[in-house]
Amino acid sequence: MIDATILLWGVAIGSIYVLLATGLNLIFGVMKLVNFAHGELLMLGAYVSYSITTGLGLDVYLSIFVSMGVIALVGLGVERLAFRRVLGADKLNEIFVSLGLILIFDNVAVLIWGEDSKLLTSPFKGMGLHFGDVFLRYDLLIAFAVVVAILVGLLFLINKTKVGMAMRATSQKSQASMLMGINIEHIYIFTFMLGAVLAGAAGTLFGIIFPFNPYIGALPTIKTFAIIILGGLGSIKGAIVGGLLFGIAENLASATLGSIWGDAVAFALLIAVLILRPKGLFGEKGD
Amino acid sequence: MVNTKLVAAVVIVIIAVAAVVAVWQFMPASDETIKIGLVAPLSIPVGQDMDRAAKMAAEEINADGGIYVESLGKRLKIEIVVADTETANPEVAPAEVTRVVDQGVDVLIGGFGSSATLAGQVYAIEQKVPYVITGASTHLVTRRGFLPDGHSLKIDDPEGMSYMFHYCTTVYHYSETVAHFFAEAMKPLLESEYGLTRNLRLAVLYRNDAYGQGVWDATKQFIEDDNLPIDIVAEVNYETTKTTFQTELTTVKNAEPDAVYVVDFTTNTAVIYTQGQTDVGLNSIYIAVECCEEPEFYTALGQYGDGQLLESKFASYADVDGEFYLPMMDTYVADYKAKYGQVPGMMGADTYDAFYIVKDAIERAGTLEKSAVRDAIESCDMDQMLIITQTGKIEFGTDEDNYHEIDPFTFVEQLYYDESIGECRPKVIWPATAPVVGDIKQADLVFPDNYEPGSP
Amino acid sequence: MFTKENLLKLIKNTKGRLALLAIAVSLVIPLLLSDNYMLHILTLIVIFTIYASSWNLLASSGQGSLGHAAFLGIGGFTSSLLAINLGIPPIVGIFLAATLSAAIGFLIGITCVRLKAWFLAMVTFGFSIIASTLFSEFDEVTHAILGFRTPPLLFSSRLPFYYFAVLISIACVAVLYFIMKSKMGLAFKAIHQNEAEARMIGLNTAKYKLYAFVLSTFFAGLSGAIYAHFQRYIHISIFSADNSFMPLMMSVIGGLGTIEGPVIGSVIMVFIDHFLINIDPFLNSALSPLFPAVSNVGPNIRLVGLGIFLVIVVILLPKGITSLLRKLYYYVRTEIIQSE
């Protein structure tokens, strides 16, 4: 049965995918780096907010900023210590490093926070608007607003600022941009941290809406890769459309065909799109 | 010369490898202990609970001098050898069971997860090692010999199969309790409180694995065979990797049930209870089965367990000032808390009992010889321990329809939120009495504060 | 192929000697062991060697797969189901299974040869999810959810099984070796290095990519079938992502694109999987007080350590352990032997 509640929750998980996908798309677009550990940053973001809110009593929505900051630093560390050193080798080495990082992050999170699932406590717990049978939590509304604000800011950064232009130049031809005097190293660090910031924000929003545990990061990452391929590499528009489409498709499939079909149908959609359009919905260039 | 050097190097390497292997092989095996293999998934909390309970039982028995073996004329201490199935992974289980059996264990205890246990038990059957299974929900672990020819799980080795024992409830035990609870306790209450005379509308949400499917099949069967006044209005199964359930709960809500039967493990069950009430507005009464009787379930549930239900066979939280429905629980829970600083879970209790079943069997057998120990376990006639049985005795069936199974008694608890600890605590509500034990009921069934019955 | 001349050639060059040494070791080791557990581990290594090598062949043609577990599972289920339902002897069944796996690989390959490597990787991952869902949806036919007991492959005892697996594995690795050395192997390499250039020099890249896909899925299906008959049990978990990532880890840590890389990698990864776990109790007793949130810290600390180790290995040895061994060998040859 198709009903508004199911669409609503499809959009909710979809907007989390959108944040992850734009970040990952930037990293892939600019650095050509395949980071399968991106979802772990989301997981850590949720836990950072958890510690901040339970430990210091900070409001969960303010903790987004802390989480973005901390995850940016984690991103810096990951880029400098691990990915930097395998960049340019085989893509498979990058995946291998990601798998190692997943082991590290998952288990460090278990050691610090335990394995039980947690939920961030929102000040608007249990509150929301009723539209007939549909209950719209305030948390969802706020999450949508935050996602939109972040995306607007991001588009501004990429299209209107100097660093954004440098990123675009790097993503198109790193050799040429080096000649133009752009410090590629710095652009790489900036891009990776920017992606991490988005994942951190996604983590906090995820943790307010969905319960999380240390192993929550793996599946979203793979779906996110599917989404950026579905949307088209390097296309922010593609990441947004792809993310929402993926979220809605898996929820609709769960509701109509049965829950076990959710993931399968979402990936079938990806395969169908790729067969028809090998470069994705909005992809112009391949790598 | 290059070649002689190379040959020399190869010879040296081979000799070194052979030496290491030889030393390893011929290390003096100590006959001075009774080796018990504990098959448990140590990467998940349930397995750790089994491990703690096993250690506690072994230490108690060892502190008492150990197990008396008549043929040796002395008492031997227990040494636990763990076969770690990680997350109850059926691909790891065969190797791990092989490892501990090859280390010469006298008996195996444990096994969690139906598929992991079915996969792992094969080597024990081949080698005829007595195995007291304490954690698989499928009755097939002891009945594979009786399956029709050509069945995919058949093991045509009656002798090997006779070494398998099942000291645990199966999907049939808990499905029967849950189905009859709805028919006999909840249906009358719906009638008296809401004037609903129609059949009870039940929704079932279950994980798509052997355990979920097993409960689903058994529940349908009991409703049909026993002619219970229950209609199943929604059936939703989902992938075991799922962690969030709004869509599934929406489907359930649209079916307007009177009650929701959730078949999953601790974390997901708590999430389903919570999201149903907060995100989807499915203000119903939820029931889960005994696999959730673990500390982390209560922690994860918080206030959202208030008024909700749990089927159980070992209610380690349902004490009144430290006193339980069963005297033995008083000491077990107190000792466990003192030793490990937490309340014991349900899976450990079966494991704990199994150590005493094995002790009793070896002492009656008077030898460590495996066939004699097997015979002794089969003729076990001990008084019940932590798990209540229908006869008050621990007896393993010998017929085809209860082969090497016990006849356990299970009951239903209702949870009440305790603000001072931020968690719920249960009270036994149904049935009123247990065989041999007597009165166990601590409170009456009431509907949760936010309860809304299904469609009229 | 096995003329006296060729055999002599084999003995004369270093690679040949190493290969013979590896074979000799694999044949002698079980004679030194008496327990079934070690044999179990050794057999797993041998089976994973086939699996990782099949993946490695695909990677050598510049195509990535993150869903090879789909073919492992299809191979395993096909052979096992044929045996229990139609009574087809497993020794025949494993080859039928491999053929079916290759046929499915062909269908996926033909729809996906136009895709870039990373797009294909996602398609294969998606396919493994879809395959797993289909197998659980049609449980009445597949018995995948509870899993089932598979019949033995010729031998039910472990020692003959081990030798059988070793022989098959040697045959597979040899075939893969000759493929990689052949014209086809060169074409794979050319595509891997630069597909556009390969096309420009007149190579039919689509055709070769399809060959690689079909060959790889054939061997993956074969290894899955042998694996199922060896474990004597098959369950839906064979489709797990762990099994998809395993051959990648084995190939990369051993040495991507080399013939010996997956062999070394499977030895290392299977040993780590089964033996490293023994330090858990020690870690737990030593470090437990530091982490109050967890009751059994052993597995988690072990896995953090393993993660760090893997990352460091791949940073220090981007071409895998085999590159280190090669360097060592050349060092020994030039510095030590030459100096005499």
Domain assignment of residue A19, yes or no:
yes
Which of B249, C241, C31 shows the shortest CA–CA distance to A210? B249
Residue whose tokens read 């062999």: C263
Contact A247, A12 (CB under 8 A): yes
Nearest CA-CA distance, residue B94 and chain A, Å? 24
Size of interface A-C (CB pairs under 8 A): 135
- Longest pairwise C-alpha distance within chain C: 71
Q: B424: which strand partners?
A: B417
Residues of chain B with pLDDT under 50: 1-2, 23, 25-29
C267 touches chain B (CB under 8 A): no
Q: What are the DSSP E strand ranges found in chain C? A: 148-149, 233-234
Q: What is the pLDDT of residue C4?
A: 65
For residue C243, give the chain B residue with the closest CA.
Answer: B91
A93 touches chain C (CB under 8 A): yes
Interface touch B248/A137, C-beta < 8 Å:
no
Of the candidates A92, A225, A287, the beta carbon closest to that of C248 is on A92
Nearest CA-CA distance, residue C119 and chain B, Å? 24
Taken in order B351, B352, B353, B357, is the CA torsion positive or negative?
positive
Domain assignment of residue C15, yes or no:
no
Q: What is the pLDDT of residue A286?
A: 43
Length reported for chain B: 456
Chain B residues within an 8 Å CB radius of C295: 45, 48, 52, 340, 342
Mutate to test the interface with C, among A54, A80, A96 (most CBs of C within 10 A): A96
C216 pLDDT higher than 50: yes
Interface touch A115/B246, C-beta < 8 Å:
no
The domain tally of chain A equals 1
Domain assignment of residue C251, yes or no:
yes
Q: pLDDT digits over C320-339, tens only?
A: 888 888 888 888 777 766 66
Q: How far apart are CA A114 and CA C125, in angstroms?
A: 30
Taken in order B162, B163, B169, B171, is the CA torsion positive or negative?
negative
Q: C155: which strand partners?
A: C153
Of the candidates B10, B18, B210, the beta carbon closest to that of C32 is on B18
Q: What are the DSSP E strand ranges found in B264-301? A: 285-288
Chain B residues within an 8 Å CB radius of C23: none
Interface touch A259/B278, C-beta < 8 Å:
no
Q: What is the pLDDT of residue B2?
A: 45
Domain assignment of residue C68, yes or no:
yes
Of the candidates B84, B95, B114, the beta carbon closest to that of C146 is on B114
Domain assignment of residue A105, yes or no:
yes
Domain assignment of residue C296, yes or no:
no
- Residues of chain B contacting A, Cβ within 8 Å: 44-45, 208, 236-239, 241-244, 246-248, 250-251, 254, 267, 270-271, 274-275, 278-281, 296, 299-300
What are the φ/ψ torsions at residue A210 (nearest 5 degrees)?
A: -120, 150
Chain B residues within an 8 Å CB radius of C231: 91, 94, 119
A7-11, B3-7, C146-150: least confidently modelled range: B3-7
Mention every residue, 6+ apart, whose C-beta is less than 8 A from residue C335: none
Range of the domain at C150: 33-255
Residue whose tokens read 């901040």: A52
Domain assignment of residue A29, yes or no:
yes
Domain assignment of residue A98, yes or no:
yes
Of the candidates A34, A89, A267, the beta carbon closest to that of C318 is on A89
Interface touch B119/C233, C-beta < 8 Å:
yes
B170-184, B404-418, C10-24, C90-104: least confidently modelled range: C10-24
Interface touch C134/A264, C-beta < 8 Å:
yes
Interface touch C238/B84, C-beta < 8 Å:
no
CA dihedral B283, B289, B291, B297 (to 10 degrees): 20
Mention every residue, 6+ apart, whose C-beta is less than 8 A from residue C56: C176, C247, C251, C256, C257, C258, C261, C262
Residue A127, judged by CB atoms within 10 A of its CB (0-12, 13-18, 19+), counts as exposed
Nearest CA-CA distance, residue A110 and chain B, Å? 11
Q: What is the pLDDT of residue A52?
A: 92
Nearest CA-CA distance, residue B455 and chain C, Å? 31
Domain assignment of residue A93, yes or no:
yes
Q: B414: which strand partners?
A: B309, B427
Over residues A125-144, mean pLDDT: 83
| C neighbour chains, 3+ CB pairs within 8 Å | A, B
Contact A212, A49 (CB under 8 A): no
Of the candidates A96, A229, A263, the beta carbon closest to that of C310 is on A96
Tokens representing A245? 């489409």
Mutate to test the interface with A, among B213, B246, B256 (most CBs of A within 10 A): B246
Mutate to test the interface with A, among B208, B233, B251 (most CBs of A within 10 A): B251
C314 touches chain A (CB under 8 A): yes
C297 touches chain A (CB under 8 A): yes
Domain assignment of residue C22, yes or no:
no
| A neighbour chains, 3+ CB pairs within 8 Å | B, C
Q: pLDDT digits over B335-363, tens only?
A: 999 998 889 988 899 999 999 999 999 99
Q: What is the pLDDT of residue C195?
A: 81
Q: What is the pLDDT of residue B263?
A: 94
> Average pLDDT of chain C?
86
Specify the 3-state DSSP secondary structure of B58. helix
Q: pLDDT digits over A44-70, tens only?
A: 999 999 999 988 888 889 999 999 999
Chain B residues within an 8 Å CB radius of A117: 243, 267, 270-271, 300
Nearest CA-CA distance, residue B349 and chain C, Å? 18
Q: What is the pLDDT of residue A287?
A: 41
Q: What is the pLDDT of residue A257?
A: 83
The two beta strands, B259-263 and B285-288, are: parallel
For residue A219, give the chain B residue with the closest CA.
Answer: B241
Helix-then-strand count for chain A, H and E: 12, 2
Q: Where are the alpha helices (DSSP H) in B128-265?
A: 140-143, 158-161, 171-181, 187-194, 210-225, 246-254
Q: What is the pLDDT of residue B1?
A: 41
Q: pLDDT digits over C289-303, tens only?
A: 888 777 778 888 888
Q: What are the DSSP E strand ranges found in C60-149? A: 148-149
Of the candidates A96, A226, A261, the beta carbon closest to that of C133 is on A261
Interface touch C299/B17, C-beta < 8 Å:
no
Domain assignment of residue C340, yes or no:
no
C146 — pLDDT class (breaks 50, 70, 90): confident
> Which domains occur in chain B, in start order?
33-169+339-402 (3.40.50.2300), 171-312+410-439 (3.40.50.2300)
Contact A228, A238 (CB under 8 A): yes
Nearest CA-CA distance, residue B78 and chain A, Å? 31
Mutate to test the interface with C, among A111, A222, A276 (most CBs of C within 10 A): A111
The domain tally of chain C equals 1
Interface touch B153/C37, C-beta < 8 Å:
no
Nearest CA-CA distance, residue B267 and chain C, Å? 16
Specify the 3-state DSSP secondary structure of B234. strand
For residue A262, give the chain C residue with the closest CA.
Answer: C133
Q: Which amino acid is at A163?
A: V
Which of A8, A15, A2 shows the shortest CA–CA distance to A134? A8
Interface touch C303/A106, C-beta < 8 Å:
yes
C328 touches chain B (CB under 8 A): no
Contact C299, C285 (CB under 8 A): no
Domain assignment of residue A137, yes or no:
yes
Interface touch B243/A135, C-beta < 8 Å:
no
Nearest CA-CA distance, residue B39 and chain C, Å? 14
Residue whose tokens read 């528009």: A237
Interface touch C133/A263, C-beta < 8 Å:
yes
Chain A residues within an 8 Å CB radius of B206: none
A100 — pLDDT class (breaks 50, 70, 90): very high
Q: How far apart are CA B299 and CA B159, in angstroms?
A: 45
The two beta strands, B423-430 and B411-418, are: antiparallel
**ipTM for the predicted complex:** 0.85
Specify the 3-state DSSP secondary structure of C39. helix
Q: What is the pLDDT of residue C215?
A: 93
Nearest CA-CA distance, residue C166 and chain B, Å? 19
Range of the domain at A188: 15-232
Domain assignment of residue A266, yes or no:
no
Q: Which helix (H) or strand (E) holds A136?
A: strand A134-137
